[in-house]
Structure 1
């Protein structure tokens, strides 16, 4: 079905509800590639001053830790993307210093780990 915009309609003008100020911390979407147990990235409010290294060490175990592959992750080989583009975060720098802002999307791929029993090979 096609959509037709009516140039004579009233402007679509309203206050946005998902602005940064409406959340306890900036929202960060994080997805784990090739692991279909998780159908979409998770959305987490994370403080901008949190070191990026804490995401894998302290945050993601509570989100993805029950997956059998999670304990096998070699974080030194993880491949990151930000908004679909290859990206290399610095684990010692904060989320903000790594350029992450409200509602950014990052994804990580874990070489050698391809879902339950290799289901995504």
Structure 2
């Protein structure tokens, strides 16, 4: 089995980039002292743009792209938003972000990855 190092590096970079973007979002939320309209939409869009830019979307199937990447980003956005609405604890949200396993449903064997 050939290991796809290029795809592995791209997915790893996307994980890192998205974690940084959500961290920036939480810092912005802290500065604004609360949630705002369309909270997290730009962050998800930036992550999707990065995934497109590095070519992950063209290397995987359309269904996997949505199931594993886009849905995962939306799930994290919803999870953090619900957490902040109920508890208002940014520190708890930052901890949840560190524990989030980005794109964990991605089928590595399918792409020899």
Normalising by structure 1, report the TM-score: 0.37
- Which has the larger strand fraction? 1
Please identify the structure whose Cα radius of gyration is greater. 1
Q: Which has the higher contact order (CA 8 A, sep 6+)?
A: 2
Normalising by structure 2, report the TM-score: 0.38
